[in-house]
Every structure is written in C-alpha cells, then in structure tokens.
Amino acid sequence: YVMFTLDFDSMTWTNERTGRKLIGQGSFLGQPDGVISGYNQRYMYFTEEDEKGNGMYARDEYGQYYTVFQAMSGQYVGDETVGMAVSPD
C-alpha cells in the first residue's frame, strides 16, 4: 500500500510505501485508517486496516515509525482498530 501525506499549508504532498518494521516491534503491513495529527504536529497517529493484525501506530516529524499498540494474537484476526483521540496533556 502507499500512504499519501498532504500539507495544505505549503500545498505539497509526499508518498511512501507501507510494509516496514517499526520501533517497538510490530509491522505496518496494511493500509492506514483513521489518521490524526497530535496537537503540536510532531507525530501523526493512525490505525491499520489489515487482515492479519490491527493496531495504532505513529510517525514522527523525521519519518520514523513507532508501534503504539498492536494485536499480536490470532484471536484478533479480521478485527479492526477504530477511533482514537490525542490529548495535549
């Protein structure tokens, strides 16, 4: 899958492929779903829509990816992580 990031302030966009290993274990093999930016714009948080697993991930302002949480058990195959909120506190 390809993830597009739009910057409406500068009217530019970037794209990058998913399917990479992340800091904190886990892997982002599906497509992004439910994208939100933190209040200070340093992190972009997103959920994953994938048949094999689901979770919440983050990308920092330097392009480094992190696993916030990910379902690691076969019990959650086919489930989906939906909704998230980011607090400035």
- In the block, residue with structure tokens 């904190």: 24
pLDDT score, position 12: 94
pTM over 0.75: no
- Burial of 85 per CB tally in 10 Å (0-12, 13-18, 19+): exposed
Q: Do residues 31 and 48 lie in contact, with contact meaning Cβ atoms separated by under 8 Å?
A: yes
Residue 55 is predicted with a pLDDT of: 80
Task: State the Cα–Cα distance between residues 52 and 25, nearest whole angstrom.
Answer: 15
- Compute the distance between CA of residue 82 and CA of residue 55 in angstroms, rounded to an integer: 9
Q: Which of 83, 78, 88 shows the shortest CA–CA distance to 35?
A: 83
Task: List the chain pLDDT tens, one digit each, 89 residues.
Answer: 777 888 888 999 988 776 666 665 566 666 677 777 766 778 888 887 666 667 888 888 888 888 888 777 667 666 777 777 767 66
pLDDT on residue 61 = 82
